[in-house]
Every structure is written in C-alpha cells, then in structure tokens.
Amino acid sequence: MLLTVAENFKKYTLEALPTLLEKIAYISSLQKENGSYAHWGLNRIFGEQKAQKAIQSAHSQLVLDVLRSPIRSLCRQYEIALEETRHPDLLNPESLELKAPATGDELLSAHLRLVEESLAVVADRKAAPPKAA
C-alpha cells in the first residue's frame, strides 16, 4: 500500500518523536521565517508543493492538539521528555519556540507563546536548586 505524503510524514518522521511537545517543537524547527517548511527528504521524494501541504496539515493538527491539552499534562510531558533526553535539542528551554502555522492568526500564536512560557517556568523550576528548609 502506498502512503500519502501526510501519512509518510507522520509514520516515518513524527512517530519517532514520543510526545506531542516533541512533535510540535520539531515541526516548529522546520518552519522558516516566510512560513514555509524546510524538509529536504519530503521535498525530494514528493515535490515541494505536496511536502509543504502535508507538513502544514500536520502542524495545524498538532497545534490544535496542544491547545486542547491541559497545561498540567503538557508540563508533565515536558518534564518527562527533559528527563529522558531522547531529543534534547528539540526541547532545550533556551531555544524552545512553538510556532503556529503561517495563517496570520495572531490569537493562535499568542496562545502558543503562553504554552511556551509555561513550559519555560517548569524548566526553570526543575533547574533551580531546592530551597533549604
């Protein structure tokens, strides 16, 4: 059975990332300033237009999944992912940036920034030495 571009991207790329946060951080890292995505393999195999459409579709769905998730659950995912360090670069607190698809929806972007800031607080709390009693 042949996979669509979107199915291929989900199966061979996104499934390698265990948490929702790692997936959204990865797609955010692919997004260029002009809103397009840099993914050499998909572009080469399927063509740039199909690859862009597949990644944007996955990005849109993941953003909705993040925004529908309780912040407590996202923070737990973040803590677990930081401890397991399978992909430390993706969730590096200093460089973590969760981006919305390039649709011009400022409210969506602002909501993702709030999630990102909440995760930064969790990272700071984890990195801070425990207070003496």
Per-residue pLDDT of the chain (133 residues), as tens digits, is 577 899 999 999 999 888 898 899 999 999 999 999 999 989 999 999 999 999 999 999 999 999 999 988 988 888 887 777 676 677 777 777 889 998 878 899 999 999 988 888 877 776 666 666 5
**27 exposure class (CB count in 10 Å sphere: 0-12, 13-18, 19+):** buried
- pTM of the predicted structure, to 2 decimals: 0.85
Determine the Cα angle at 111 with ends 105 and 115, to 5°: 145
Residue 9 φ/ψ region, left for φ over 0, alpha for ψ in the -120 to 50 degree band, beta for the rest? alpha
Convert 82-107 to b/e letters by CB count within 10 Å (16 or more is b): beeeebeebbebeebebbbbbeeeee
**Nearest to 115, CA basis, from 29, 35, 24, 15:** 24
Q: Give residue 63's pLDDT.
A: 94
Reported residue count of the chain is 133
Residue 107's SS3 state is: helix
Q: Give residue 131's pLDDT.
A: 65
